[in-house]
């Protein structure tokens, strides 16, 4: 029997697919969902290109909602395996709270449910958009007049 808890890596069997994700049977009557964004580390347009019903998959438990819904990730389970196989990086990496230059730095949110991650993303996005609008409203746009 597999212990279903946040952060656990489990084996499961794909029991169904939809256009937005796949359902994975974890045994003991428990089923979790892998959102399309958590299927592979590349862009997934059509899930059937990556997953088929009945396929055995390794998944990471991202969270368990108060309603009992289990959020899973296939790509994060694979990333963990790949990290364990390769040696540690030689160069120090900038901490996540200090991005370097214009690079995007991933921040770990393994303990948040999918809904919480989306809410946090939306709030951050709204904040950035309002900052951009405020900045652009203060600028005077000058255009060069063309003489006729």
The predicted-structure confidence for 91-147, as pLDDT tens digits, reads as follows: 555 555 555 555 555 555 556 777 778 888 888 888 888 878 777 766 655 556 666
Q: What is the pLDDT of residue 145?
A: 65
- Token pair 């901490």 is found at 95
> Where in the sequence is the domain holding 15, given as residue range(s)?
9-85
pLDDT tens, position by position, 3-56: 888 888 999 999 999 999 999 999 888 999 999 999 988 888 898 889 999 999
Domain-embedded: residue 111: no
Separation in Å, CA 65 to CA 31, 56, 61, 76, 94? 13, 24, 11, 19, 32
Domain count, the chain: 1
> Tokens standing for 78?
């694979």
* Cα(127)–Cα(124) distance, integer angstroms: 5
Domain-embedded: residue 56: yes
In this structure, the number of other CB atoms found within 10 A of the CB of residue 132 comes to 10
Q: What is the pLDDT of residue 146?
A: 66
Domain-embedded: residue 114: no
Domain-embedded: residue 121: no
* Cα(79)–Cα(134) distance, integer angstroms: 39
Q: What is the pLDDT of residue 4?
A: 84
CATH code of the domain covering residue 60:
2.40.50.140
Give pTM, 2 decimals: 0.53
Task: Look at 70 and 119; give whichever has higher pLDDT.
Answer: 70
Q: What is the pLDDT of residue 129?
A: 84
């Amino acid at each position: 029997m597999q212990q279903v808890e946040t952060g656990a890596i489990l084996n499961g069997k794909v029991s169904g697919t939809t256009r937005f994700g796949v359902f994975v049977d974890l045994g003991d009557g428990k089923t979790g969902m892998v959102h399309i964004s958590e299927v592979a580390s590349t862009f997934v347009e059509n899930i059937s290109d990556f997953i088929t019903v009945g396929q055995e998959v390794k998944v990471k438990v991202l969270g368990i909602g108060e309603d009992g819904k289990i959020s899973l990730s296939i790509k994060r389970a694979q990333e963990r395996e790949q990290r364990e196989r390769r040696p540690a990086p030689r160069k120090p990496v900038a901490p996540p709270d200090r991005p370097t230059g214009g690079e995007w730095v991933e921040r770990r949110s393994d303990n948040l449910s999918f809904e919480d991650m989306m809410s946090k993303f939306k709030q951050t996005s709204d904040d950035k958009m309002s900052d951009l609008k405020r900045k652009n409203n203060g600028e005077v746009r000058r255009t060069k007049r063309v003489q006729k």
